Amino acid sequence: MASKIAAARLESLETLPRAAEYETHIWADYLELLCLANEDREFSKADALDRFRERTRDLGEGGEDLLSGDELSPGEENDKWVQLVDNWFRHLYYRKEAFGAFYPFSFSLSGDVLTVNDPLILENRFYIFLLLSSNLRHVRSVMAYLTSNFEFVSSEALKKLLPANAEVHIFGANALHPGKYTGKLWDKIIALADDLKERVIISEAEFSPHDTGDKGLDVVGWVPFNDPAPGLPIFFAQCGCTHEWVQKQHSSSHSAWNPIMTFLCPPGNIAFIPYCFRNSDGGWHKSGDIHQSLIIDRLRLVQLFRDRLQHFEPLLSHQIVEEILQQREPLF
């Protein structure tokens, strides 16, 4: 396992993200990754203009709508690029204010250059862990560790969200954090229904005897009462580290689990995502992508984890962040 962690590094940074120009949170992530990896730990608006304009023009990278539309004159194209980069940096300015001590970057006096803080404190490393977990295509060699640890971090965040006497457990198969629900999916569902004081209403024949999955439920939490009656406050959660989280958030919802077991009181549905799913004003990037779910994104995770960083420091992902921080390369 140590050799895997030692191999942790940012990869494929030269390729622009397949993101639309208005998806400022994705471009802001990319700028932060480039800043982390760059030899001088800086990345400027001028760097972005030179790098992004060239790769879009020569290689057709970026989102399909990047500088799409009518043919632009050289001057108009330059103005458009300046506007785009200004918008992306505006989102970075928002992050610095919103994340406070957790934000691992600063700006030059002119505001045109993003720089990595020195030294980086534990709060900064936690932010970088969430940044890496949002960009798995750049950390493929260690993505399994990041996603497993993200489920654990999400379970700890749910504990903070719920009262102190709440029960919170990882339900999915997690090699790094095995919990009370293990073995075949059918056995786990039976055990979960028993804990929730509900009944399974689906047949065992509908499950493969080899299925050890989670049926879209990564983390479960409930508030117990000292009586045998059903009707507990229950929360089901999906942890999504890819852009498919929008479609997957339904998998832990009441409508997805209602055919499986009874619920006297429908469970609340939560989607934990490491993305900073925000506009530059702090609102949701696309509220239409939120389907009756409570979204706990990067900003809310930081808010919930302010006094729980002792749970992050021993994780393998903390070591991965340390390895990533050793990587420096000239980007030009």
Span 193-246, pLDDT tens digits: 999 999 999 999 999 988 888 899 999 999 999 999 999 999 999 999 998 889
**C-beta atoms surrounding 288 within 10 Å:** 8
Which range (70-84, 104-118, 176-190, 211-225) has the least confidence? 70-84
Q: Is the pLDDT of residue 2 over 50?
A: no
Whether the Cβ atoms of residue 85 and residue 48 lie closer than 8 Å to each other: yes
- For the chain, the straight-line distance linking the first and the last C-alpha, in angstroms and rounded, comes to 33
State residue 276's pLDDT score: 98
Q: Report pLDDT for 330.
A: 73
Which tens digits make up the pLDDT trace of 255-281? 999 999 999 999 999 999 999 999 999
- Where does the pLDDT of residue 326 fall: very low under 50, low under 70, confident under 90, or very high at 90 and above? very high
Over the range 167-200, which residues count as b (16 or more CB within 10 Å of their CB) and which as e?
A: bbbbbbbbebeebebeebbbebbbebbebbbbee
pLDDT reported for residue 328: 84
Pairing of strands 268-272, 234-239: parallel
Q: Which two tokens stand for residue 94?
A: 């928002």
Q: What is the pTM of this model?
A: 0.94
Give the DSSP letter of residue 291: -
pLDDT digits (tens, 9 = 90+) for 296-310: 999 999 999 999 999
For 118-257, list the strands marked E by DSSP.
167-170, 219-222, 234-239
pLDDT, residue 70, reads: 56
Rounded CA separation 212/26 (Å): 33
pLDDT tens string 180-189:
899 999 999 9
Assess whether the previous peptide bond of 228 is cis (omega < 30° from 0). Answer: no
Most confident residue range from 5-14, 47-56, 154-163 = 154-163
Provide the mean pLDDT of the chain. Answer: 92
- Give the residue from 68, 72, 66 showing the smallest Cα distance to 26: 66
- Helix axis angle for 45-59 and 74-99, nearest 10°, is 130
SS3 329: strand
Q: Which residue has the higher pLDDT, 62 or 305?
A: 305
Q: 48 vs 25, 36, 130, CA distance in Å?
A: 15, 14, 23
Contacting residues for 313 by C-beta, under 8 A, at least 6 apart: 122
Q: What is the CA radius of gyration of the chain?
A: 22
Nearby residues of 40 by Cβ (< 8 Å), 6 or more positions away = none
Domain ranges of the chain: 2-141, 142-272
The confidence score (pLDDT) of residue 4 equals 46
Per the CB < 8 A criterion, the answer to whether 36 and 116 are in contact is yes
pLDDT above 70 (res 290): yes
What 8-state DSSP symbol labels residue 27?
H
User: Cα–Cα distances in Å, from 140 out to 12, 134, 225?
Assistant: 10, 12, 43
Q: What are phi and psi of 221, to 5 degrees?
A: -140, 150
Three-class secondary structure of residue 43 per DSSP: strand
Residue 329: predicted pLDDT: 78
- Dig out the tokens for 25 from the structure: 């949170």
